[in-house]
Amino acid sequence: MVSDVQVEHVRVFRRGAELRCTASVTLPQGESVVVLRNIAKNPDEESLQVGSSQAGITVLQAQVARDYFKDDESQDLPETKAQRDRLKQAERELGALSRRSETLAAVLGKLDECPIAPDGTTSMTAETFDKLVGAQVRKRTELTDEIAKVNDEVTAKKKEIKRLRTELYGGQEETGEQAQRPVLLLRLASTKAGPVKLSVNYISQGAYWNPQYEIRSEGTDTPLRLTTRATLRQTTGVEWKNVKLSLVNGTPSAHNQLPELTPWFIHLASPSNATSKMGYAEKTLPNAMATANYSVQREVLYDAEEDEAVSEDAGFEVESNQFSVSYEVATPYTIRSGQAETLVALTQQQIPAEYQYIAAPNMSPEAYLVARVKDFSQYGLISAPATVVFDNMQVGRTYLDAAEQEGTLTVTLGVDPRIIIKREEVKDKTGQKFLSSTAERTLTYDLQLKNSKREPIKLEVRDRYPLTTNDAVHVELLESSRATVDSEKGYLSWEVELASGESKSLRVSYKVKYPKGKTILGL
């Protein structure tokens, strides 16, 4: 007996899917063989689970069989029959168009072979000749236009046929191979005759989903609205019709076997291969702020020879894993095999945020508005790209890294041109002098800040001064306008409050001493 499997619930993994299906059959008492159709193109046989909650039903054998019906169209599902009928109709239409194109081309060829004047004509008026020429030109133009129109229709029909073949055969027919249409062959035993509902679960690799976020802010007095979405596509070869969806951040496993621990080694990476991570601020700042980060410590070196050495931190590579996160989609979805990616709405959260302006004049003369979310791990997100929208305008893209959710998430919302930042060198406080064996170079500059907004602001200003790893070079910070100083990294920071229209100035000055006759690199 033959029956159709209905897909009811699909658990889609980042790569792959578990299809949970049902099938209804009427069994006689004793043993019987059941053929179940509407199975994915490439089911994982090791993951196959068949059963029934009804008493007295035993599954004696379950296996996947391919090309079971071969070309027997009488065994097609209703959906498959409709697809096949559309394909046949399109192929008939293509044949008619091709024949018309050939006929028109033949007529045009005959027209070109015909002389304008009939054979044996010895004299013809100019008026008659013009009429004959005009008639031939008009006919030729009509034929050429008609051929071009038919050829366009042929091209469009070929594209339609290709799409229909892909939907019907999953792309295999395009290579000349007979499409594999697997079925499940079941040997069942029943203690009594009657209708039975079977559950059929298996894994197919023909599906995937990718998460994405939208971070939206309506203003600095509102929380962030975080929307989680997913793009999903399936090429299993079967239609998911009004199915319940679960999206799982993980990979399917048909082998539920306890893993065995093995020794875990970490290694020193070559400094030239180590990944450099930029960011005085949190690494989650988007690209606009990345140019203003100043975590790479600029070292002050001089051009000595063998006694010079540049110290670089050794890099380490450690891989971290995430726990699986699952999203249950409330709305049933219908997704055809092979169709374009489907956008699935998952969750929406209101997240409290603190807004602040940040500027790094040493890198960029602009003030960036950022939103900070503390204890970001409580929202249980996974790593994914995010679109940032502020005041109904897309201002950029960033990446939410789940590995860094224990700290504070910082999202850049854009540049505010009404906050004016200038970094100006103080000429009379900058210069160079030479002593008996050393040279000294003093650099001084002012950071000019002005708030042109109508409301007061809080502005975090970041700057830096140079460091050195060479014992022959000494750097001394002379003035920092009461900055918070990180002497190990050479960072300076200020928390500044500016009333509407207010201006303030911060001064930074430092002195570099180095051997006379040498040249400082990096200043």
In order along its 523 residues, the chain shows pLDDT tens digits of 788 899 999 999 999 999 999 999 999 999 998 889 899 988 999 999 999 989 999 999 999 987 665 555 555 556 567 777 888 899 999 999 999 989 988 888 887 777 665 655 556 677 776 777 788 788 888 888 999 999 999 999 999 988 887 666 544 444 433 445 788 989 999 999 999 999 999 999 999 999 999 999 988 889 999 999 999 999 999 999 999 999 998 888 655 566 678 887 766 555 444 333 333 333 333 333 333 333 333 334 433 333 333 333 333 332 333 446 788 998 999 999 988 999 998 888 999 999 999 999 989 899 999 998 888 878 878 889 999 998 888 888 888 887 765 678 888 888 889 999 999 998 877 777 777 788 888 999 999 999 999 889 999 999 999 998 888 899 999 999 999 999 999 999 999 999 999 999 999 999 999 888 888 787 7
**Chosen domain end from 142, 169, 196:** 169
Residue 275: both structure tokens together: 């990944």
Total domains present in the chain: 3
Q: Are residues 185 and 142 in the same domain?
A: no
Helix (H, G, I), strand (E, B) or coil at 468: coil
The residue range of the domain holding 140 is 80-119+127-169
For residue 141, what is the domain's CATH number? Answer: 1.10.287
What pLDDT, on the 0 to 100 scale, is given for residue 312?
33
Say yes or no: 286 and 397 in one domain. yes
What does the pLDDT read at residue 313? Answer: 35
Residue 113 pLDDT: 76
How many contiguous H segments (helices) and E segments (strands) does the chain have?
3, 29
Dihedral of alpha carbons 269, 273, 275, 276, sign: positive
Contact 332, 212 (CB under 8 A): no
Integer Cα distance of 489 and 186 in angstroms: 69
Task: Give dist(CA 138, CA 155) in Å, integer.
Answer: 26
Q: How far is Cα of residue 399 from the mean position of the Cα atoms in its chain?
A: 10
151 plus 194 within the same structural domain: no
Same domain, 85 and 72: no
Show Cβ contacts of residue 180 under 8 Å, excluding neighbours closer than 6 positions.
41, 66, 67, 172
Which residues are registered as beta bridge partners of 185?
35, 63
183 plus 298 within the same structural domain = no
The pLDDT, as a whole number, for residue 306 is 35
Q: How far apart are CA 3 and CA 25, in angstroms?
A: 7
73 with 95, same domain: the answer is no
Strand partners, 234: 207
The predicted pLDDT at position 319 comes to 31
Same domain, 297 and 427: yes
Residues 146 and 189 in one domain: no
Q: Are residues 186 and 68 in the same domain?
A: yes
- What sign results for the dihedral spanned by CA atoms 312, 318, 319, 320? negative
* Residue 417, helix vs strand vs coil: coil
**What is the H or E stretch that residue 126 is in?**
helix 126-169
Instruction: Specify if 134 maps to a domain.
Output: yes
Q: Last residue of a domain, which of 111, 145, 169?
A: 169
Residue 389 lies in a domain: yes
- Establish if 498 belongs to a structural domain: yes
Domain assignment present for 459: yes
Q: Which residues contact 148 (CB under 8 A, 6 or more apart)?
A: none
The span from the CA of 515 to the CA of 522, in Å, is 16
Q: Please name which of 113, 109, 93 lies closest in space to residue 156, comparing C-alpha atoms.
A: 93
> Are residue 162 and residue 285 in the same domain, yes or no?
no
pLDDT (0 to 100) of residue 30: 93
The answer to whether residue 234 sits within a structural domain is no
Are 158 and 306 within one domain? Answer: no
In a domain, 223, yes or no: no
Distance CA 211, CA 328 (A): 14
Q: Is the Cα dihedral 133, 137, 140, 142 positive or negative?
A: negative
Three-state DSSP class for residue 459: strand
Inside any domain, residue 28: yes
Partners of 244 in beta bridges:
9
Is 378 a domain residue?
A: yes
Pair (71, 193) in one structural domain: yes
